[in-house]
Amino acid sequence: MPMNKQLILASRPSGEASVDNFALRQQETPALQDGQVLVRHHYMSLDPYMRGRMNDAKSYAVPQPLNEVMVGGTVGEVVESRHAKFSVGDSVVGMGGWQEYSVVDGDAPGMLRKVDTTHVPLSHYLGAVGMPGVTAWYGLTQIIAPKAGETVTVSAASGAVGSAYGALAKARGCRVVGIAGGPEKCAYVVNELGFDACIDYKEHSDYLSLSKALRQACPDGIDGHFENVGGMVLDAVLLRTNAFARIAVCGMIAGYDGQPLPMVNPSLILINRIKVEGFIVSEHMELWPQALAELGALVGSGKLRPRETVAQGLESAPEAFLGLLKGKNFGKQLVKLI
């Protein structure tokens, strides 16, 4: 069996996370038992939710255990199988974590599935046609549920979730406005992803200034918003919402280091009768096939052209992860392992 490099959570961060919270180790991959599959990972996913798992605090998911391999999505190839459903050479997506190989129970629900790379590149199953894409699909279709002609917005618009959200919303006839950091990201959001407008939040020092920019980009107000950030961005959006607007809350990355995120004008939720709903996409697995079918068609047809930022080698993961939390990535953040 091959030697396996792994990254573990060595300590919990106090405030901002650092590379010192992780440690590299190497150990031999265990021999397969009946029903198990050995997967060599080609790519692993880095996602904002992982920062919350590093804390030992009450949340929607169990904290990442210390001295164990960091949790995370992976795509790769079956290199050995003792399960009838999986064959050597199969392309698969799973939750193999921050390591080069994983041994997976082939019958465990949601842990491993075969994917078709004929029209969709393998890496996209960690982004546009994976968990981030389904996250965008669920928030848009199940919570915001827009009608054609409505205006919808999304923070972190150039990222894996935001880019899929834009394509899905445009396919439903919406006016789509993104919020992203920097002129290059905003140009990508408009010129390549096809958003109607994009606002650079870095040009604004407070929520009132950002809200004025939103008023120009959304002259008819905001009917639906997908929130990945919180803080100043959410405060700015609330000022521009129409009556009966819907807000899908997926992430609060502005507060991942532990600081509180108070709202400036929570009374707007009542004044505009806004529906605000948080969700965890893994709690809605029954809808994943429907979402993945639409997302795969968008990628295959070229209507969704997601970008990827790819770090090379397992050792690069901590720095790449910390960069993701600061918005240094462009599109989906991946680590290439082969």
Give domain 3-127+306-336's CATH number out of 3.40.190.170, 3.90.180.10, 3.30.70.370, 3.20.20.70: 3.90.180.10
d(CA 151, CA 182): 22
In the sheet with 222-227, reading across from the earlier edge strand, the strands are 197-200, 175-180, 151-155, 222-227, 241-249, 275-278
pLDDT of residue 156: 93
| pLDDT in the model for residue 280 | 93
How far is 216 from 211, CA to CA, in rounded Å?
Answer: 9
pTM of the model: 0.91
| 265-to-232, 268, 272 alpha-carbon distances in Å | 11, 6, 12
For position 52, what pLDDT does the model report? 87
* β-sheet bridge partners, residue 234: none
Residues 74-118: pLDDT tens digits?
999 999 999 999 999 999 999 999 999 999 999 988 789 999 998
For the cut 90, the answer to whether the pLDDT of residue 261 exceeds it is: no
The pLDDT of residue 296: 93
Greatest Cα pair distance, the chain, in angstroms, is 63
Share of the chain above pLDDT 70, in %: 99
Domain definitions of the chain by residue range = 3-127+306-336, 131-282
> Residue 115: its pLDDT value, please?
95
> Over the stretch 15-45, which tens digit does the pLDDT of each residue have?
899 999 999 999 999 999 999 999 999 999 9
pLDDT of residue 110: 79
Does pLDDT of 260 surpass 80? Answer: no
The single-letter DSSP state of residue 106 is T
Average of per-residue pLDDT across 159-183? 96
Check: CB of residue 54 under 8 Å from CB of residue 71: no
Q: For 266-307, how does the pLDDT look when each residue is reduced to its tens digit (9 = 90+)?
A: 999 999 999 999 999 999 999 999 999 999 999 988 899 899
Say if residue 1's pLDDT is above 90: no
Say how many CA atoms lie within 13 Å of 265 toward its Cβ: 18
What is the distance between the alpha carbons of residues 104 and 275, in angstroms, rounded to a whole number?
A: 40
Query: Does the structure show a pLDDT above 80 at 257?
Result: no
pLDDT of residue 194: 95
DSSP string, 225-272: EEESS-THHHHHHHHHEEEEEEEEE---GGGTTS-----S-THHHHHT
| 303 within 8 A of 279, measured Cβ to Cβ | no
pLDDT bucket at 205, cuts 50 / 70 / 90: very high
Domain 131-282 has CATH 3.40.50.720: yes
